[in-house]
Chains A and B, each alone.
Chain A
């Protein structure tokens, strides 16, 4: 991205931004794990939509938690396996650094593999609770919000559901295969607001709630409108 000057408010974006959202139905799969070794085995073979469910989706389901939750694997390692060190490593995986579920899966496999290489006895210890692998069946839907101007965009950001925020801001990189999100891509490619695009992309989703993310985005966008 190259820095561009602030655009006048009357500038019409190259194309509108269509706010979509997604609905998910949770399916229980046949895979489960009672030990870290079983978790590793299941991580290697479970379907991609299981990886998606236990990382992206639970972040959405628990979007209101500011601290103490990152993904289901980390949470299980901490609360069921009593492995805080492993849990911290698993929790440090930022889903936004990945543009494919295969890569994300590989990262988790590497972390657990390494832990078990260093601590082989941990592999067979029974966890307090079973980890049940689930999967998400997804339906993507339009919303009534279409942004043809930056003001429209701010309005859409303010009024769409938190699911829509998640869809465009967090899940998006899996669709567009870029280390970015739908909002930043539109602001950069179609509106020419590179700095605003970058600022949005830097928002930390792991230390705030999704509503906080919305508020931060609005502040950034509304500053550019001022």
Chain B
């Protein structure tokens, strides 16, 4: 097993300590390499690149067409001057922050001023909310009074320092849910945007959170199966990717090659890739097992590229588990990357023959969206919002087990034309449903509906 980015026990992670320029980040032990695999001089990871300027609406014209942009402008016309506040738990790492980084400026360009606030909290708060996150995904959990008090205390602390004067306030995920306490003093409509899979929540934790959620004017979920029986309207907003972001934009073939050389990925052989945080819910161990099963029949390499979001304490443990299962296999490349390696992720996805997302639980699975957008045949777990993206055998392949994943890897690698058609369909599906411009449209529609005297009832065709 090749381990990149100094994640063994003797070298600190790039996230925790800066590396001197002349100290190798790669594993100190030389690894037996196939003759055709060369490793280019490595780059350092200790500093994030300069932030990329946000894209403007017109920049999307070549991707979605002028007509689509005109429709957005029309929708925004009667919302000019309205204000929105978005509140979430982290400014970096994870799909929510990534999405808000693009959404907020675009809404602003349409003259819907959008403020983005991030709640603050100590390690105790984020330990509690991580436990809530796992519990809401169905894990066993004993909700203690202490956990509740920590949750409420930090929410109250944030509520006291924030102001909520906007026309629409959007609270993302459970971490800031108790900020709803400010609704009674706020002039605007409050929306709870849930990004996680709530189909089988721990009853204690959901029972604790539910009274907060019921106070909102509306809730948004990423999949129908996540919705709960709530007395408020529930909307379906598919999450989205930004086709112009570093992670999704077109990049030069030379850069793709450079990244593969840097990580020792052999582009002359099939590449199977999963890009995800090292989180048990993403089942990276299962991916390794599936890969090993598939490789009995077809030659291929496995790339597991991940890292930790700023609100995910478990990543190091899971990474260790994955390395143990991978063993010394030279065809398994495990990359622990800092959250700012969007271009490198982009390159790895584009270099891949197949992309896998074998999640056991998933909110929506934006890594699937990224892969589909790049036209990659994608195999994914039939969980969460993934079935909204992967329509089995039409836009990708859904699987339910390690064995199923292994079989589809074999099938797609041996049926390249079918795989290519899946890739083309997948890209069109993303273009229609999961791009940033569609997300902007949904937010504009919701703002219109909530700010009107009453939501439209029935269909114009009754």
Residues of A bordering B, CB below 8 Å: 21, 23-28, 30, 32, 47-49, 52, 61-65, 68-69, 75, 79, 100-101, 129-130, 132, 134, 136-144, 159-161, 163-164, 171, 174-175
Contacts and interface: CB of A to CB of B under 8 A. Distances in A.
Contact of B459 (A21, A32, A136, A143): A136
Contact of A52 (B66, B225, B459): B459
B459 A141 contact: no
Given A48-B459, A137-B445, A161 B68 contact: yes
Contacts of A49: 458-459
B394 interface: yes
B233 A27 contact: yes
B236 A134 contact: yes
Interface in B409-462: 425, 428-429, 431-433, 441-442, 445-446, 448-449, 455-456, 458-462
Contacts of B431: 64
Main secondary structure of the interface of A (DSSP, over half): mixed
Given A27-B235, A28-B235, A101-B461, A141 B393 contact: no
Contacts of B455: 137
Nearest to B388: A61
Contacts of A139: 75, 445, 448, 456
Contact of A47 (B65, B225, B234, B458): B458
Given A25-B446, A79-B392, A134-B224, A101 B425 contact: no
Contacts of A32: 224
Contacts of A101: 459, 461-462
Contacts of B68: 161
A136 to B, nearest CB: 7
A175 B445 contact: no
A77 B324 CA distance: 43
B14 interface: no
Contact of B429 (A64, A142, A175): A64
16 contacts: A25-B235, A25-B442, A26-B235, A27-B233, A27-B234, A28-B227, A28-B235, A47-B458, A48-B458, A62-B432, A101-B462, A132-B227, A134-B224, A137-B449, A141-B74, A164-B67
Contact of B394 (A69, A130, A160, A171): A69
Nearest to A21: B71
B455 to A, nearest CB: 7
B225 A138 contact: no
B224 A132 contact: yes
A163 B441 CA distance: 13
A7 B429 CA distance: 41
B460 A138 contact: yes
B221 interface: yes
B387 interface: yes
A62 B459 contact: no
A32 to B, nearest CB: 8
Given A23-B445, A64-B428, A141-B74, 10 more contacts: A27-B234, A64-B425, A68-B393, A69-B391, A129-B387, A134-B224, A137-B456, A142-B74, A144-B70, A174-B459
